[in-house]
Amino acid sequence: MRHFHILSVIALTLASCAPVQMASVAEGPVQMQQVTWRENTPFFARSTDGRDCEAEALGVSIVASDSEKMAAIASISNADRDARRDACMISRGYVISVKPLCRPGETDGKQVFLSALTDALPPLSAVKCLVPGDSRAGSAGFVLV
C-alpha cells in the first residue's frame, strides 16, 4: 500500500498527463509534461495532498480498499478524474503547468533534484526541465535554470 502511495504522489506531483510534443525551431521536437507544483512544500505534505485529492477525484475515502479504488477508477473517465484531481490540488494552493522534459545531455554536469527527496521545491520558474522517470511516476526530478 505504501508503494502505491509513493508512486501515486510522485505521479501527481510532477506528471498528471502524458508528455506532449511541442516543436522547437533550433533543436527539433521538445517533449512537454504537465506538472503539479507548490513551492516550499515538504514532500510529506505533497504526498498527503496528492493522496487526498486522488481519493476525492475518485469519490472514495482515503482508507478505501484496493477493490473499492479499482471500482471507482472503472466508473469515471480519465479526463473527469484528472479534472477533479487538478481542481482539488489547485484549491490546496498548487499550480498546474507544463515544463519541458530534459533532453539527452541536458543534465550533464547539472545537479538533478529528485522530487521525492526535495522538501523545499523552488519556484517553478526556476525549473529548466523535468527529468523523465518510469511510465507510472512520470517525472523523477528536475534541473534548475
pLDDT in tens, 28-43: 578 999 899 999 999 9
pLDDT in tens, 100-109: 999 888 888 8
Query: Does pLDDT of 134 surpass 80?
Result: no
C-alpha span between 106 and 116 (Å, rounded): 21
